[in-house]
Chain A
Amino acid sequence: MSAPILSVKNLVVEFPTRRGILTAVDEISFDIAAGEVLGVVGESGAGKSLTGAAIIGLLEPPGRVAGGEIVFDGRRIDNLSEEQLRSVRGSRIAMIFQDPLTSLNPLYRIGEQLIETILTHIDMSPSDARKRAISLLDEVGIPAPETRIDAYPHQFSGGMRQRVVIALALAGEPDLVIADEPTTALDVSVQAQIIQLLKRLCHERGMAIMLITHDMGVIAETADRVAVLYAGRIAEVGTTRELVHNPQHPYTSGLMSSIPSMDGDSDRLVQIPGSMPRLTAIPDGCAFHPRCSRSLERCHLERPDEFTVNQSRVACWLYDKDAPHD
């Protein structure tokens, strides 16, 4: 494995409120290698989008990075000034948002938006930038890019608009793209096209993707490795194949089996009781223990360490070999 392009160590994101500090992301660590797709999966409120926003420096105040470090290409980026961060954001790390309608300016032709982005990051003449914009649109699969470049966002369908957003993200030749629910607003048939496109770009450009989604199906199709988040903490990190076929953490296995199967005939779905705790009421010990069917006494008291199980990293006391068994 090559050196990681992005390395996140013990990242903490906090929100100070009138009733005290809420910890939305709590000591998360992971690496992304160059050219790799890391899936970040979790239910709503698990902290996956905040992790993405923290990496690219787009946390909305009062949210703040309160601890840990983010190392991108050998350089710490979590303590950069806004000015320094600009040289990284867009050109080295780009972002794709969930809703293509809100990430494009409706008043400008898509060509203008693309050319502006290209000129911000790359030193070239406006006519070269236009040529580049056309080739980017072609690369993301927009038919007749020479004419479509002068269209407005509303003249595109949802899937085509998301392709334009991807072209915008590629404009600065980034090494890492953070894609936050890139297919959630799309229909399945269009989702399949966008997944294909992301995989192709990753392959052709050697670009790393951090794919944030709640949909295990999208992860299984796209990601090389997966990090499962629960209540702002990592429950399990491993290769996608291992995680899909052989989930270790009780939350991951519960999550996997609660998804209705396309070919199974089971009458009842396996269900995890309860729902994810609110940030104001994260339980002591392991955050998952009130919903866990296999919880031990120490799960109520001590936050689990991470253990290595079959190449996966699992934060669960069940895998503590040194624990006294009785």
Chain B
Amino acid sequence: MTDAMVQVDSLTRLFDVSKPWLNRVIEREDRRFLRAVDDVSFDIRRGETFALVGESGSGKSTVAKMVVGLLQPTKGDIRIDGVNLADPAQSESMRAMRRRIQMIFQDPFASLNPRWRVDRIISEPIQAFGLESDDRAISKRVAELLTLVGMSGDDGRKFPHEFSGGQRQRICIARALASRPDFIVCDEPTSALDVSVQAQILNLMRDLQQEFGLTYLFISHDLSVVRHMASRIGVMYLGRIVEVAESKALFKQPSHPYTRMLFDAVPDLKMSGRPHQSVEGEIPNPISPPSGCTFHPRCPHVNERCRTEIPEAIASGDVIVACHAHQEGRIGKKL
């Protein structure tokens, strides 16, 4: 990848889910760990929207939190413009990098301080990074940001509870833009919104991307939203990336059996009478994931090798797939 802005390399994150110390001693149990993210690697190119999709518990939000630095990885590296987030020797450039990374959260009701007026919420990053010094310049910038996200400059005097969900998400976007970032991590930005409002927010995000040349990491469980927003997509299952491909190619020709199952499960809005394959089972408990390929208990193409050996992610062209059956040519092309 020539122009990778974000490089994520074999990222792993464990969570300690052990019982309290005394229980462990009495019941003679070892510590237990939940492998939320397991050996995840991907690149995000400058100016693109890279999406991570998956069902709940697949680890997509944990990846997002590690990329912005809200969680420390257990193993692996995250490099943004060549700066390693975890390397203490680069902490000076890391501080400069902070300004350039912002995040938009899922729930616009929980991510805005209810006791602060909107202008204070939006001006906080400007002051924290020392982007403007005098008050007049700051309030001018806040009004400019509010206009940018389709609100009026006077809305800055109001409190978050005076706004609807969609408007609050606009405020969150204005706050994210306040530090003039070039990389924004969006964790399910429209999942809490109604469809007609979701369309407004998605359009706004695309407009802003074009205007400021933003790079997005877009986390969602909604395939149609991802299809609309992303240029490339990574599909996650139980903490691993099973497939990475260009958005168009992925929807035309999904390779991994899990991706196919996921696409098949999406309700048929057009009522085209598309036959559904029956979907088997549910995502297993990540504390005790299945051996080998974690998808094998639900996979129609499973064989002995899948039960024992973890498939490696192998790239062919622009598509990366982690599946034995795919590599051995045991799966036919779809349609």
Contacts and interface: CB of A to CB of B under 8 A. Distances in A.
B182 to A, nearest CB: 22
A192 B55 contact: no
B269 A270 contact: no
B52 to A, nearest CB: 15
Interface in A132-179: 157-160
B283 A187 contact: yes
B283 A259 contact: no
A310 to B, nearest CB: 16
Interface string A204-218: 000000000011111
Most B CB contacts (10 A, CB to CB) among A158, A192, A196 go to A192
Contact of B271 (A190, A192, A241, A267): A241
Interface in A183-235: 187-193, 195-196, 214-218, 220-221
A77 B264 CA distance: 42
A192 B224 contact: no
B309 interface: no
Contacts, number: 119
A313 B264 CA distance: 33
A193 B279 contact: yes
Contacts of A276: 194
A267 B229 CA distance: 9
Contacts of B195: 43, 214, 216, 255, 258-259
Contacts of B28: none
A187 B56 contact: yes
Contact of A220 (B224, B262, B268): B268
A240 B267 CA distance: 14
A268 B265 contact: no
Nearest to A216: B269
Contacts of B257: none
Interface in A251-301: 254-255, 258-263, 265-273, 275-276
Given A269-B199, A271-B200, A195 B194 contact: no
A44 interface: yes
A270 B197 CA distance: 11
Interface in B167-205: 167, 194-200, 202-203
B34 interface: no
Give the 3 A-B CB pairs with smallest separation, nearest first: A217-B267, A258-B199, A260-B228
